[in-house]
Structure 1
Amino acid sequence: MTNAKNNKLRMWTAAGVAAGMSVLATAIIALQGDRAQATANSAPPPPQVSVATVGESEITAWDEFSGRLEAVERVEVRSRVAGAVQAVHFREGALVRHGDLLVTIDPAPYQAEVERAEAQVGAAQARLAQAQSEHARAQRLWEESAIAQRELEEKVNAAREAAANLRAAQAQLQGARLNLGYTQVRAPVGGRIGKLEVTAGNLVAAGPGAPVLTTLVSVSPIYASFDADEQVIVRALQGLAGGASARQMIERIPVQMGTGTSADTPYQGRLHLIDNQVDARSGTIRLRAAFDNRDGALIPGQFARVRMGQARTTRAVLVPERAVGTDQEKKYVLVVGEGNKAEYREVTLGASTNGQRVVHSGLKAGERIVVNGLQRVRPGAVVQPQQVAMAG
């Protein structure tokens, strides 16, 4: 009897526990559902990003090169006469004009030579006057048959010799005056002058073996020399129309240049030279462009970034610089496709133009790309696109 009561008690206890567990499980499931709903309701909305529709534009295709600036004229200033340096009339590094006085060589010996030559000219003129007078007198006497033909010819020859001696004396005087003028060493070209190599008081020789007094480089225009692949040159020349001279043709090719101090290429120039042969080792051709440099800001030897364009425009896909991301060595954009999902798209870029980059492959006109907020979006994520105009 007692065992039956105990078994019945155990059955009621187990049933109560089972019922309690069922109620607890139901409560937990309900609580989890409420939490899931709350989480769904509190999830952040998709990020807002600016998107633009890709289009095509007429552009000038540019190729970029590295080069160096070169002076159009570079002169080593030497004395043309020997002597002592008497005075220096320039400041190192200054801009000088053509004909400015740079250095004076002691003129005293050359002034004396001029005076001696002038005296010789005077003496030759006197001898010529006497010879001409004797020739005229002999001519009258011969006409009167007072002298022989031989005597007349002697007077004629004497007059001719005196005239020749006068011309020789005059030539010596001209040479002496030239040498006197050479004691004033003047700027052969306008430009920027360099370091003084010989100071006042030193003796200098004359001629090509003479020491360099200073160097002078022209300022404006200035050349930028660079090497370009032969295929680039062929492509550029194919865009030129015929019927013009070679110089007129190459000057139609647009050229821009910047230096290492700026990322821009603010200098507009003209192509001046395409060399007449290809370097067999590198497969490149030497080119030279000319740029205005009136303010003297560009210096020979300076590094130059040169952009050479095509004479004819082409149609190309352009995207803003800020829309392009970098993934290690790859360049990519985020394309907004169906369902406003951001798609990773690797692209091949070309040259930069007005804050935009040319896209050679990976993107086509009509597609939408993220142009602002690229860092807030992951590939595959849903975004809230805000349509904006395509701009650099």
Structure 2
Amino acid sequence: MLRLPLPPLLILVGVALAFGSSGCRKPPAATQTAPANVTVAKPVMKRLAEWDEFTGRLSAVASVDVRARVSGYLQSTHFTEGRDVKQGDLLFVIDPRRYEAELARATAELNKAKASFELATAEAARAGKLLLTQAISIEESEVKAKSRIGTEASLAAAQAQVDQAKLDLEWCRVTAPISGRIGRKVVTEGNLITGGPSGATVLTTIVQLDPIYCYFDVDERSALKYRELARTGKRESALYQSIRAQMGLANQEGFPHEGTIDFVDNEISATTGSIKSRGIFSNPGRLMSPGFFARIRIPGSGDYDAALIRDTAVGSDQGRAFVYVIGADGKATQRTIAVGPMEQGLRIVREGLGADDRVVINGLMAVRAGAVVNVEETTMQPAVKTAAATPSR
């Protein structure tokens, strides 16, 4: 049977009925979401000063190149390399026989000069008595007196030679000029070494380890900030007195070493745009050595009252830090805050929080401003760090 197409009017009526029936349906009822479960804690209120961190290198307070003062063959060594020595300890002995002979010769010359001086003194005294009786002429008496003065000068020269010979003999025994840790011996026994004021042979080095310096560079902006704080009376300046400093090594957590800043250079480097500064720290165990990398921090502000919260409680909205605060009605309010650096595992909040504010520290992603939440209260503690899993080999 041949089927004829439906008239266009019937098609339009069918479409209208379809839309009408769908429009009469009621929309589904809106589902109500349960309040989010969050953990809140009150900030830790503390009066503190912020710290500025820098990097530096450790350096010895005193470092000495031990050099020979006299020339000769190195005879013996009397220290253990890499160990501590005390000032005055014997380190090396240079063959002293040449200098013993020189001392003996100078002593003989001194005795000869003493005899000549004593003879000239006696003759001058006798000539003085004879002059009173006019037994000798004035000219002869003056010759005797001048001869005595000449022998006295010779005696002083001979004494100086003896003193120098004794000093050279003493310098054959090379002793530690300072207390500290000694390095390796650069020259071994049997070698000829050169002494003297210039070009003397370096035998070893000694560095003083307790206390120890930490040198670091402070950028120009920070230096200007510190001077402004000093000008306004908010913080003392290291330019005029020692200030507190803390230091930590590369393998240490935090800054366990306490010290002071005892030196600030007198100009900003035109090359680096920074100023050289120095901290001094005790090193009783002598575990810190010159050349180690170190982290150092100094007070970067005056003392003020701050709130401390978990860093994970802080959110960011277009560069502005905020937290969620739960009111007495259980509703969440977004609060803009001004944050500072970390302090003992907690984030410093300079402005925006009070001691009684309940800050969301867990469940932050489920909170919306104005929403009611279920609250569980706890105390503000640093977030526990989870150890990274060790891959199996």
Task: Give the TM-score category using the shorter length.
Answer: 0.7 to 0.9
Displacement of 1:97: 1.3
Distance 1:350 1:174 in 2: 68
1:1-392 correspondence to structure 2 within 5 Å: 47=37, 49=39, 51-54=40-43, 56-207=45-196, 208-240=198-230, 249-251=240-242, 253-310=243-300, 312-320=302-310, 323=312, 335-337=324-326, 349-359=339-349, 364-365=353-354, 367-371=357-361, 374=362, 378-380=365-367, 384-392=374-382
Amino acid at match of 2:184: K
What is the identity, as a one-letter code, of the residue corresponding to 1:359?
V
**1:390 Cα deviation from its structure 2 partner:** 3.3
What root-mean-square deviation, in Å, do the aligned CA atoms of Structure 1 and Structure 2 show?
3.2
CA offsets per residue over residues 64-121 of structure 1, 9 Å max, x none? Answer: 0001011111111110111111111111111111111111111111111111111111
Q: Which residue of 2 aligns with 1:25?
A: none
The structure richer in helix per residue is: 1
- The whole-number CA distance in structure 2 between the counterparts of 1:143 and 1:383 is 127
Does the aligned pair in 2 maintain the 1:254–1:310 contact within 8 Å? no
Is the partner of 1:75 in helix, strand or coil?
A: strand
Query: Structure 1, residues 14-68: CA drift from partner, whole Å, max 9, x if none?
Result: xxxxxxxxxxxxxxxxxxx9xxx9xx9xx9995463x222365321121000010
Query: What is the one-letter code of the residue matched to 2:217?
Result: D
Partner of residue 16, structure 1: none
Offset of residue 337 of structure 1: 3.4
Structure-1 separation of matches of 2:181 and 2:149: 52
Q: Note if contact 1:192-1:217 (Cα within 8 Å) is conserved in structure 2.
A: yes
The unaligned stretches of length 5 or more in structure 2 are 1-28, 383-393
Contact kept, 8 Å, 1:349 with 1:358, in 2: the verdict is yes
The answer for unaligned runs of 5 or more in structure 1 is: 1-32
Counterparts of 2:99 and 2:267, CA distance in 1 = 50
Give the AA of the match of 2:294.
Answer: A
Per mean C-alpha deviation after superposition, the further-off stretch among 272-281 and 180-189 is 272-281
- For 1:378 and 1:341, the matched residues in 2 are separated by 15
- The percent identity for this pair of structures is 36
Q: Distance in 1 between matches of 2:100 and 2:179?
A: 28
The 3 A distance-change label for structure 1 pair 268 and 180 is same
Letter of the aligned partner of 1:190 in structure 2?
Answer: S
Change in CA separation of 1:333 and 1:193 when aligned onto 2, cut-off 3 Å: farther
Q: TM-score, normalised by structure 1?
A: 0.77
State the Cα distance separating 1:280 from its structure 2 match.
Answer: 2.7
Which amino acid in the other structure matches residue 250 of structure 1? Q
CA displacement at 1:367 relative to structure 2: 3.9
Count of residue pairs brought into register by the alignment: 343
Question: Partner of 2:389 in structure 1?
Answer: none
Q: How far apart in 2 are the matches of 1:359 and 1:311?
A: 14
How far apart in 1 are the matches of 2:204 and 2:152? 44
Shift of 1:168: 0.4
Equivalent residue of 2:174, what SS? Answer: strand
In the other structure, the counterpart of 1:13 is none
CA distance in 2, matches of 1:347, 1:311: 19
Q: 1:260 to 1:326 in 2, by over 3 A?
A: farther
Q: CA deviation at 1:139?
A: 0.8
Contact kept, 8 Å, 2:38 with 2:360, in 1: the verdict is: no
Secondary structure, counterpart of 1:185 in structure 2: strand
What residue identity is the alignment partner of 1:267? H
* Displacement of 1:344: 8.4
Moved more, 333-342 or 380-389: 333-342
CA contact under 8 A between 2:310 and 2:346: conserved in structure 1?
A: yes
**2:276 aligned counterpart, secondary structure:** strand
1:236 and 1:309 in contact (8 A); partners too: no
Amino acid at match of 2:264: I
